[in-house]
Chain A
Amino acid sequence: MKGVMGVELIKLIIDGKEVEAPAGSTVLQAAENAGINIPRLCYDPELSKLGACRLCVVEIEGNRLLPASCVTPVMQGMVVNTESPAVIEARRTILELTIANHPLDCMTCDKMGDCKLAEYAYRYGVKESPFEGEKHDYVIDDSNPFIIRDLNKCILCGACVRACEEMTGADNLSYLNRGFHRKATTAADVPYIDSDCVFCGQCVAVCPTGALTEKTMSGLARRWDIDRVRTTCPFCGTGCNFDLAVKDKKVIGVLSNPDSPVNGRSLCVKGRFGWDYIYNENRLTTPLIKKNGKFEHASWDEAYDLIALKFNEIKDKYGPDSFAALSSARCTNEENFLVQKFSRAVMGTNNVDHCART
């Protein structure tokens, strides 16, 4: 059977439901398209497949083992069970092993509410780990103004390493050491600030736990208290979208929005971390009028009255072309439309421009 674009469609059964999926897709993707959510920690649709965390294991009839669904291709006639007792038991064990070496300080963790590990521990009722052993005691890296890196909370899903290489291409992160001492870190294991990090923050956007978090948001809001306002970046012309994270009527950070048409979750240091200029204490908050060479605070009415007086006076005395307006490539379409309408319809001149050529 052929589907769209000539790709063969495979028929299989997932949780008793007949499902079709294009050849070459994985069991996890086929399930997802059918509305069945399989837990996953290392799988990320935008990154290469790693098959490392094993949390997405499923039972496939005729297969003695529990394969990881994120790397198992669909086959004709496959019968898959995503929540069988064996699968649930395996997932519980995986989660118990994972939290054996993970701080359980979720009450104060900034990622709480958006932590995949916590979500699955809740889903499978894993409160604590029966496994006891050594725990990491890494120093928290808050060497820079943007990202807090707490490797004690790292579950080695490798999403940050893959995002750094595959999304940004900065190649700043990789794995170091083996076994218990394995860590996802910078070359030479230096703090971010001393590395070649470009601070795009893609690693933060893909991290499923509290290992990588936005420093500006630290301690300011639980994730469920954040209102997300989707908007367009105010810096370059790429047109990235992101969500402004708002708590108590204040912007506290920027969060990636995977539905962004241009950029997906990718951003740069300016878009993700440069927004705080809006709260710079030098922001102008009232109109100012220059008197005797010094700016003095004025009311809106005083400012408008003076502007109206002067602009009309100059127009009457010297003609419409004695006026010129500079509009802004940083402002909205609507504001620019008004500025050119003002220049043309009110001041009577086409002397309106902006920095289009620079």
Chain B
Amino acid sequence: MFLIGTNPTEAHPVIGYKMRQAARNGAKMVVCDPRHIDLVDEADYWLRLKPGTDIPLLNGLMHIIIKEGLEDKKFIEERTENYEELKAIVESYTPERVAELTGLSVDDLYAVARLYATTDKAMIFYTLGITEHICGTRNVMSCANLAMLTGHLGRPGTGVCPQRGQNNVQGACDMGALPNVYSGYQAVTVDAAREKHEQAWGASLPNKVGLKIPEMFAAAHDGKVKAMYILGENPVLTDPDANHIRAALEHLEFLVVQELFLTETAQYADVILPAASFAECDGTFSNTERRVQRVRKAIEPIPGQANWQTICQMVTRIGYPMNYDSPKEIWDEMASLSPSMAGINYDRIDQQNSIQWPCPTLEHPGTPVLHVGKFTRGLGSFQPSEHIPPGEMPDAEYPFLLSTGRILQHYNVTTPYSKGISSIWNKEMSELNPVDAEKLGVKTGEQVKVTSRRGEAVTQIKVTDRVLPGVIWMSFHYNATPTNALTSHHLDPITGTGEYKVAAVKIEKL
């Protein structure tokens, strides 16, 4: 288990339990994280790298693997391309240079490189610690490079495993709630896919890729996007650079929000439609393993109707009749349009409890392991990267590095509405190293003001050596401490993902 930028015992607790069990049963574990997360205590190696130096670390491991001849030559030859470019780029990432860039020891780099390369079943796990960087996509590609270099792909117990964040972030992608694809990842720019959907939906469809979230808010800011519909998201609290989001929402001519609560984002709405919770709706969620599972209605919807009914009624009123008897019928329409999920239906899920796509036919058992024998694109392409430092680093004026994440007891901004949970965990406790706490004269429980170039937030401090000196670590769950007022405006240029993991801030005792 090679963990990089992931804190499973808090962000995906049950996966964290299983990893802990595996480590205690003898599986080797490497944790790459600047923070002393729980699983460090179970790990064989803890690579406490400096924030934002994942590419140098991964390149450095690959450098050693190639130098020592531990790469999987057969896999590289048969299943990959562009290996020579990878080799050329990692050549300069000598253990000594990587140790300098990352703050790690040369010995640990050698030990981990050898361990990963020579373990038959080695798996890479990553989460937002990899993606929420200006070089997030490059970080992910570097993980894939490491796995391909050693042939750790396409077999059970191997692979590159991104643990998806929200309950249905996988499913929302699968369903085509993305600006470039319909359900089942069929590109809107491909004529055949578009024509199929035009025919099914009786409407002419645009062939131009749409805007990603940060582009939407930028366009709203610039007056190009005038109206928005937001379902069950609270970007004012959860998106980076919150003040920019607020300004963008203010610019809109008309905003509709469908929500459980009058959230910070809903405050900006012109019309709010009350939403039903998971306990009030039938449907499906798809987990991080592409596993489609049922959500079942346990009680009558508190606003009187389920969300799918509200959407259908709204859309019908706008002028497009949208009539379904049940979520099952919606699923069936989606499956009929999506070859990779065509074999999944409610009856099968009820019988088997869950099915993992790709599942192209009703007879297909589903696919637990991807990339067996062949990658989707044919050959796996090595996409090497040079080191890309974070967009903003501490300086004289903003001397601390702010990194953010989730804590065990909360999930984004819903759990604060749980009375039990919020009766215990009700305020932000930002982590600060004892060295810095002493300099600032703050003790656990005391308040500080944290300021970045974009905004400020007041928080309580927890003094702990879980974080390195010079770093403050904050969660974003509490509206009294709007951490994302501070976070960086820098984005990954390919995905538009915000650099939540690195920003420069200053801290003042209150």
Q: How far is the CB of A255 from chain B (nearest CB, A)?
A: 12
Q: Which listed segment binds B: A61-69, A151-159, A161-169?
A: A161-169
- Indicate which residue in B204, B212, B226 contacts A314 across the interface (CB closer than 8 Å): B226
Q: How far is the CB of A167 from chain B (nearest CB, A)?
A: 6
Residues of chain B from 159 to 185 with CB closer than 8 A to chain A in the complex:
163-180, 182-183
- Indicate which residue in A216, A233, A340 contacts B420 across the interface (CB closer than 8 Å): A216
Residues of chain B from 6 to 54 with CB closer than 8 A to chain A in the complex:
11-15, 17, 20-21, 24, 42
Task: List chain A residues, Cβ under 8 A from B213.
Answer: 326, 353-355, 357-358
Task: List chain A residues, Cβ under 8 A from B238.
Answer: 355, 358
Residues of chain B from 305 to 362 with CB closer than 8 A to chain A in the complex:
307-308, 310-315, 317-320, 322, 327, 330-331, 333-334, 353-354
Residue pair A232, B498 in contact (C-beta under 8 Å): no
B166-208 to A contact mask, C-beta < 8 Å, 1/0 = 1111111111111110110000100000000100011111101
Residue pair A239, B291 in contact (C-beta under 8 Å): yes
Residue pair B283, A333 in contact (C-beta under 8 Å): yes
Decide if A221 is an interface residue (CB 8 Å cutoff): no
A139-179 to B contact mask, C-beta < 8 Å, 1/0 = 00000111000000000000000000011110000000000
Q: How far is the CB of A270 from chain B (nearest CB, A)?
A: 5
Residue pair A262, B287 in contact (C-beta under 8 Å): yes
* CB-based nearest B residue for A169: B20
* CB-based nearest B residue for A144: B424
Q: Which of A229, A305, A315, A342 has the most CB of B within 10 A?
A: A342
Residue pair A340, B14 in contact (C-beta under 8 Å): no
Residue pair A288, B272 in contact (C-beta under 8 Å): yes
What is the predominant secondary structure among interface residues of chain A facing chain B? mixed
Task: List chain A residues, Cβ under 8 A from B294.
Answer: 230-232
| In the bound complex, CA of A288 to CA of B20 (Å) | 47
Asked, given contacts A269-B409, A325-B229, A353-B211, whether A238 binds B12 with beta carbons under 8 Å apart, the answer is yes
Residue pair B182, A345 in contact (C-beta under 8 Å): no
Asked, given contacts A274-B415, A276-B419, A324-B216, whether A351 binds B211 with beta carbons under 8 Å apart, the answer is yes
Residue pair A251, B14 in contact (C-beta under 8 Å): no
Residue pair B216, A267 in contact (C-beta under 8 Å): no
| In the bound complex, CA of A348 to CA of B17 (Å) | 45
| In the bound complex, CA of A331 to CA of B307 (Å) | 9
- Indicate which residue in A263, A270, A315, A330 contacts B168 across the interface (CB closer than 8 Å): A330
| In the bound complex, CA of A230 to CA of B279 (Å) | 10
| In the bound complex, CA of A282 to CA of B263 (Å) | 10
Residue pair A339, B284 in contact (C-beta under 8 Å): no
Decide if B146 is an interface residue (CB 8 Å cutoff): no
Residues of chain A from 38 to 76 with CB closer than 8 A to chain B in the complex:
none
Decide if A300 is an interface residue (CB 8 Å cutoff): yes
Decide if A217 is an interface residue (CB 8 Å cutoff): no
Residue pair A241, B293 in contact (C-beta under 8 Å): yes
Asked, given contacts A284-B272, A288-B272, A310-B270, whether A349 binds B206 with beta carbons under 8 Å apart, the answer is yes
| In the bound complex, CA of A198 to CA of B224 (Å) | 47
Q: Which listed segment binds B: A91-99, A129-137, A203-211, A242-250?
A: A242-250
- Indicate which residue in A246, A283, A306, A336 contacts B172 across the interface (CB closer than 8 Å): A336
* CB-based nearest A residue for B277: A278
| In the bound complex, CA of A166 to CA of B209 (Å) | 49
Q: How far is the CB of B509 from chain A (nearest CB, A)?
A: 29
| In the bound complex, CA of A91 to CA of B299 (Å) | 42
Asked, given contacts A332-B285, A355-B166, whether A322 binds B302 with beta carbons under 8 Å apart, the answer is no
Residues of chain A from 318 to 345 with CB closer than 8 A to chain B in the complex:
318, 320-345
Q: How far is the CB of A193 from chain B (nearest CB, A)?
A: 8
Task: List chain A residues, Cβ under 8 A from B319.
Answer: 308, 312, 346
| In the bound complex, CA of A303 to CA of B407 (Å) | 37
Asked, given contacts A238-B15, A334-B327, A338-B330, whether A275 binds B411 with beta carbons under 8 Å apart, the answer is no
Decide if B225 is an interface residue (CB 8 Å cutoff): yes
* CB-based nearest A residue for B293: A232
Decide if B507 is an interface residue (CB 8 Å cutoff): no
Task: List chain A residues, Cβ under 8 A from B92.
Answer: none
Task: List chain A residues, Cβ under 8 A from B292.
Answer: 333
Q: How far is the CB of B379 from chain A (nearest CB, A)?
A: 26
Residue pair A330, B167 in contact (C-beta under 8 Å): yes
| In the bound complex, CA of A223 to CA of B275 (Å) | 31
Decide if A356 is an interface residue (CB 8 Å cutoff): yes
Interface residue ranges, B against A (CB under 8 Å): 11-15, 17, 20-21, 24, 42, 128, 131-132, 136, 163-180, 182-183, 188, 197, 201-206, 208-213, 216, 219-220, 224-233, 235, 238-240, 253-254, 256, 259-262, 269-275, 277-281, 283-289, 291-300, 302-304, 307-308, 310-315, 317-320, 322, 327, 330-331, 333-334, 353-354, 408-412, 414-415, 417-421, 423-424, 492, 495-498, 500
Question: 30 A-B Cβ contacts within 8 A?
Answer: A145-B423, A145-B424, A169-B21, A193-B424, A198-B408, A234-B285, A266-B17, A270-B411, A274-B421, A278-B302, A285-B303, A285-B304, A287-B274, A308-B314, A321-B206, A324-B210, A333-B331, A335-B283, A339-B229, A341-B201, A342-B315, A346-B315, A346-B319, A350-B208, A351-B216, A354-B169, A354-B233, A356-B177, A356-B178, A358-B128
Interface residue ranges, A against B (CB under 8 Å): 144-146, 166-169, 193, 198-200, 215-216, 227, 229-241, 244, 246, 249-251, 259-263, 266-270, 273-278, 280, 282-290, 295, 298, 300, 303-308, 310-312, 314-315, 318, 320-346, 348-358
